[in-house]
Amino acid sequence: MIVVLITGGGSSLVDAILEAFEFVIGDYRIRLVDNLESAGEARRFQGHTLNIELDTEADISDADLVIDLDQSYLGDAFVMRPELSMVSLAQRLFENLPEGVIRSLHGVVREPVVEVKGGVEALAGQVTQLFSGRDPEPMPFGGALAFNSRLLDDSVLIDVLREMPALGLTYISLERVQSDCFYTVSASLWLQIDSAYSGRFKDMATEPYQIGLGLAPDTGRVELDAPIRVMVRTLDEGWVHMAIAADLERHLWVADAKLALTRRLESLA
């Protein structure tokens, strides 16, 4: 039996992960750990009660797979951590493309506040403060975000994207924006590609192209098995525009956690 340890066990993301794990068959046991605020709370999983252990007291040496939601794990077990939203999107869309197919990648990615620790609660607080006629508390965004947006440093994102084989030779120029969406990540991307692969990009579309998805996505909370929304428009020879929207937690991070579990089970079978 393998032990799956989930840090940040009191978060809403854990509820979605446990829902996705519910029908994963295998010889594994789940442990949840978190700080004093959440320790002692209980979650239901496969007919059993999981009590959240206090992270400073729990012996986690038996973990085989760690889903490190709060970025606190320092051990040697196999670790899955939530990726930056654009990285997670790119892995799904481009990982099977040969190197050099995408010659340049330009656009804007708008990240949701759930990507920031405590961001959902902080944004809700800013909205309340504004409606009460008060100046919003700037942390953790560094300023007012409600009904607004803020530019973020793009260098870390671009460095990670360039580590992907499909983007190793790609010129990348992205504007990274902290949006005031709670859960939805959206991207408006212009790609210069090898025109021989135009059909591969058209096949990525999940629905007909709509103007404005990247600016005003209407994707909210979704079912766990719902697909990422992808719209594709081919332009002049060798150019493609992609408009993408996804629930960062339920589309991307939950799927990453489920894939990590199934792969770990397969590797130990």
| Average pLDDT of span 224-246 | 87
pLDDT tens digits, 80-131:
999 999 999 999 999 999 999 999 999 999 999 999 988 989 999 999 999 9
Query: Is the pLDDT confidence value at 161 over 90?
Result: yes
pLDDT tens digits, 132-143:
999 999 999 999
How many CB atoms lie under 10 A from the CB of residue 126? 24
- 140: cis peptide before it, omega within 30°? yes
Confidence label for 242 from pLDDT (cuts 50, 70 and 90)? very high
At residue 235, the pLDDT reads: 85
Distance between CA atoms of residues 257 and 80, nearest Å: 7
Instruction: Tell me the Cα Rg of the chain.
Output: 20
| Average pLDDT of span 192-221 | 82
Burial class for 143, CB neighbours closer than 10 Å (0-12, 13-18, 19+): exposed
Of the chain, the percentage scoring pLDDT greater than 90 comes to: 77
At residue 210, the pLDDT reads: 80
Query: Is the pLDDT confidence value at 216 over 60?
Result: no
Residue 98, both tokens: 């040969």
Q: Which of 109, 98, 118 is nearest to 37 (CA)?
A: 118
Distance between CA atoms of residues 122 and 113, nearest Å: 9
At residue 24, the pLDDT reads: 92
| Average pLDDT of span 170-179 | 96
Q: Mean pLDDT in the chain?
A: 91
Distance between CA atoms of residues 212 and 206, nearest Å: 16
At residue 32, the pLDDT reads: 96
Confidence label for 220 from pLDDT (cuts 50, 70 and 90)? low
| Average pLDDT of span 24-47 | 93
Delineate the domains of the chain, giving CATH numbers in brackets: 2-81 (3.40.50.720), 85-248 (3.30.360.10)
| Average pLDDT of span 158-187 | 95
At residue 217, the pLDDT reads: 62
Confidence label for 267 from pLDDT (cuts 50, 70 and 90)? confident
